[in-house]
Amino acid sequence: MSNIFDLFKKIEKKADTTPVSFIIAGLGNPGAQYEKTRHNVGFVAIDYIAEKLGVRIDRAKFHALTSEAKIGEVRVLLMKPQTFMNNSGVAIGEAASFYKIPPERVLILHDEISFEPGMIRIRRKGSAGGHNGLKSIIAHLASEEFPRVKIGVGKKPSPEYDLADWVLGKLPKDHSDTIDAKREDILDATRLIAEGKIDDAMQRYSK
């Protein structure tokens, strides 16, 4: 029995104390009524990434649900802001400030209505492009210099269609299945970006 306790002590001593140096945030709205909506594909993507990294995003911190994980040698903070989409920057800004992480090491996974369902694109930086979640993050980081993985959810059926109704609408099953089929690509792109290989990620997924 004493040998078992000695083993546990050795394991505790070897606990990873690497500081968080990268943030990965999936955008969405909290609450069951927003599940499976176009605006919540960022939540779906980050949950899949967490599952593959062997963690659950369930710790309340920084106005978000969070978890820490390792991607290669990089310790990352996974985030699902609970501030609702339009105030996503509150949570992400708090976390970036706490860990002293610069904008270029904050990766955002979000929905993109200008792309067909399932299409993904990597961007190193850029404007909000009309996306209120990105607009909030830009305001709180005081920078547009953060990378994004854009996940296509489909265009509005007509210019007159209300944007809020569209992004808060449920994804049809065929669109949801198409997006789910790209989860491995999103995971791979995320890993590359966290490891400082954004050019590789863009070459593979932004052709």
For the four alpha carbons of 47, 62, 96 and 73, in that order, the dihedral sign comes to negative
- What was the pLDDT predicted at 6? 62
- Confidence category of residue 14, pLDDT binned at 50, 70, 90: low
- What was the pLDDT predicted at 30? 95
User: How distant, in Å, are the alpha carbons of 44, 89, 111, 159, 163 from that of 38?
Assistant: 10, 19, 7, 17, 11
Per-residue pLDDT for 3 more than 70? no
Domains of the chain with CATH codes? 19-205 (3.40.50.1470)
Please give the average per-residue pLDDT across 39-47, as a whole number: 96
Query: Quick check: 108 and 81 in contact, CB under 8 A?
Result: no
Mean pLDDT rounded to a whole number for the chain: 91
Contacts of 173 (CB under 8 A, 6+ apart): none
- What was the pLDDT predicted at 206? 79
| Digit-coded pLDDT (tens) for 92-138 | 999 999 999 999 999 999 999 999 999 999 999 999 988 999 999 99
Q: Give the residue from 36, 9, 22 showing the smallest Cα distance to 153.
A: 36
- Confidence category of residue 15, pLDDT binned at 50, 70, 90: low
C-alpha to C-alpha distance for 78 and 4, rounded to whole angstroms: 33
Secondary structure class of 150 (helix, strand, coil):
strand
Stated as kind and residue range, the H or E segment containing 188 is helix 183-194
Please give the average per-residue pLDDT across 172-187, as a whole number: 95
Instruction: Find the range with the poorest average confidence among 9-18, 92-101, 198-207.
Output: 9-18
- What was the pLDDT predicted at 1? 46
- Confidence category of residue 16, pLDDT binned at 50, 70, 90: low
Instruction: Find the range with the poorest average confidence among 25-29, 55-59, 134-138, 203-207.
Output: 203-207
Query: Quick check: 84 and 30 in contact, CB under 8 A?
Result: yes
- What was the pLDDT predicted at 130? 87
- What was the pLDDT predicted at 4? 65
For the four alpha carbons of 70, 71, 77 and 80, in that order, the dihedral sign comes to negative
Active site residues: 39
